[in-house]
Amino acid sequence: MSTHHGTRRDGSPITDETVEALADEAERGYDVDELLRRRRGGRPAMGSAAASVESVRLDPEMKRALLLRAAADGVSVSETIRRAVGAYLKAG
């Protein structure tokens, strides 16, 4: 009897036979170029290099104003912060 190990994205069951077939495929090796062509990217690049994540502390009033501005502009809080920092740096 085959053991059920869960399901695939398409809902089909992962059985012992599925695991064996996948292991056999892996042992034969993969075409790296094909894998790279099919690769789904993560977040799109924002600039010339990987972006960094910075942390800031906001008092409740500033946080509320930030949320309201983001909603009014129809963009994310992160985008609102990027725009504000960009405008500040250009003004300086």
Residue 47 lies in a domain: no
Its pTM stands at: 0.52
Q: Compute the distance between CA of residue 27 and CA of residue 30 in angstroms, rounded to an integer.
A: 9
Residue 9: the pLDDT is 87
Summarised one tens digit per residue, pLDDT across range 49-84 is 778 889 999 999 999 999 999 999 999 999 999 999
Q: Compute the distance between CA of residue 73 and CA of residue 66 in angstroms, rounded to an integer.
A: 11
Residue 84 lies in a domain: yes
Residue 46 lies in a domain: no
Determine the structural domain holding residue 33 and report its residue range.
1-41
Residue 77: the pLDDT is 96
Q: Are residues 33 and 68 in the same domain?
A: no
Instruction: Please provide the DSSP assignment of 25-71 as one string.
Output: HHHH---HHHHHHHPPP-SPP-SSS----------HHHHHHHHHHHH
Q: Compute the distance between CA of residue 84 and CA of residue 77 in angstroms, rounded to an integer.
A: 11
Secondary structure class of 16 (helix, strand, coil): helix
Summarised one tens digit per residue, pLDDT across range 17-51 is 999 998 998 899 888 888 777 766 667 777 777 78
